[in-house]
Every structure is written in C-alpha cells, then in structure tokens.
Structure 1
Amino acid sequence: MSRIGKKPVAPVSGVTVTVDGQKVTAKGSKGELSVVLVDLVKPEMTDDGVVVTPVDDSREARSAWGLSRSLVQNIVTGVSTGFERKLAITGVGYRAQMQGSDLKLSLGFSHEVIFRAPDGISLAAPTQTEIVVTGIDKQQVGQVAADIREFRPPEPYKGKGVRYADEHIYRKEGKKK
C-alpha cells in the first residue's frame, strides 16, 4: 500500500487547482502547470485538497498511486514557490559566468562551453564557482542541472568538475610507488 498516496495534496494560498477528468491544472503566482495522470488512478477535489485514489486493487494501480500524488504535489509547489538546484564547480581555471541570458563555462576544454537555458528555466552564476538553476517544473530543473553537470562530471582523484552542491564525491587514493 502507498503511504504517500494516502495523503491529500493540501491547498496552498494563492494557488487554484482544477481537476478535469485525468488532467490536474494548478495556477499560481509563478505560472501555470498541468499534469495528465494515468487511467489507473482517479484524482478528485475535496475540502482537504486534491485526493488521488487507485481505481482498483491491482499492482499497477497501486504502483501509480504514489507517483501520481507526487506529480500533483510538484505542480502545486512549482507554481507557488518554484524549484532550485545548485551546482558547484571545482578545479583550477574552471569557472562559470553569465553572458546575457546564456551561461558561459570554462571547464578545461580548448573552447568555452555556451549553454542556452530552455524556456521556463533561469540560470544564475552568483560567483565564478556556483550555478543556480531555477524554474517551476521540477523535472525540467533537474534535467537542465544534469545537462550542465554532464559537460564535466566530477572525477574521483582530484574532485575536479561540475557537481551538485549537496553531492559528495568519493575520492580515490591514486597510484602508489
């Protein structure tokens, strides 16, 4: 049984949520998002908020139950407060800076890497070794952060590269004489 699926998605002030069949739409101060849930679950509005219930007791319906509730929670959180992912750059000469709305990365290659943010995502480089990715769609924010990290993932010997701010890199010892 899903433990997260049993909890209703509580209403947030300033956010209006509408349920139209399998489509759940949330409008808030930061924008509007919608998600179409699978037919194995049934969303409905109640006084407690949006409640997601499985249509039957099958394994597939119970598997989709908690996921569907989390997707609804993510769109409600996204339009009210948004999501943020922080990246840290480690390495001599590695740096990031904004060039208009694009992100210019110096990551030890023979060329600069220019990253253009997709619509709905904003990038910031408060310092040369920090990157902040913000947006209202949690999946898109995570994907953009992963794309930036992919240019130079952290290596285990010196720890150089682009990593998530909360990521721990397991270091290897290297060669011995």
Structure 2
Amino acid sequence: MPRREPRHFAQPSPAQADLAALEDPALLRRLLRAKDRMDAASHEAWPVRRLAEVSGVSAAHFARSFKRAFGVPPHRYLLTRRIEQATTLLRDTDLGITDIAFATGWESLGTFGRIFRDITGRSPGEMRIDARTHLSEPERVPACVLKAAQRPDLTIAVLEKRRRAADDTVEPSTREVS
C-alpha cells in the first residue's frame, strides 16, 4: 500500500482572519451594538474593556475588529461623537461652554478646549460666534446632513495632528495603515 503524505493547510494571516471575522454577521451586530451604545451615551466613559463586554468579545479582538469595520479606533469614534454633540450645543443653545464640556463627557474644561481646537481648528467660543454669524437657514437642512457635513476628520490621532501643526519636520512616531 502506498504511503500517504500528510496534508498541510496554510494558516490564514492575521489580516485574512480579521477580514473573515468581519464577514461574520454576528460579530458585525455585536460591533454595531457597542457603537450604538456609544452614540446613545457619548457623555459616559467607554473604555475598550467596557465596549468589549457589551460586544461579548475580548478587548483586543474588539479594538481590532472595530477599527477594521468602521475605519477608526473606538476612542477616536467617541471623540468624533463628543465634538459633534458639542458643536451642535454651541450652535443651538445658550448653555455656557463649561456646561457643554461637562454635558458631552469631558472631565476638564481645559482638555475639552484643547482637543476641540485640535480637531476643529477653532476654540469653542470661536465656533459659537462663527456658527451664529453664519446662520444661513440651517432649519431647511436636515440635522443628519448638517452633522455629516460638520463631522470632524479624525483619520489621524489628535496628538499626531498637534505634532504636525507644531513642526512639519518631525517624523510621526508610528504610521497608520489604512
């Protein structure tokens, strides 16, 4: 009887495994559940561990899968939501900037102001003045379209934006791969 050679199956690379995992409808539903929770309560603290518990997966798997599914890490997604909400409150209410900072989940007014400026390019006060002087019938524009148009671009980390703005000759400490 001829001897049979053992079959060797190629193991998928980590990137292939992540792509296959994102094709899993159950995982996508779990990621969306965590994203919906962040949207509903963006003022709360959402560490990766808590989001992973909501999704029913490990923290590392959640962080990797979330970034692959939505294009940004969970923390940047949460920052985007908080800045969107703060921008809306600055434009549409008479609340003080301190009240807006705390209502949108910031624990420090200084941190709120610094990160708001880093992301939008303007301080919260400048944003409020600008939004109120350029009111050109926003009532006719649906809120979802207005939010999408004003959504901050967080494809790079806030610290990286700050570093690039301070000195264009400084090389980034890490490179993001899209």
- Relative to the length of structure 2, the TM-score reads 0.24
Whose strand fraction is larger, Structure 1's or Structure 2's?
1
Whose helix fraction is larger, Structure 1's or Structure 2's?
2
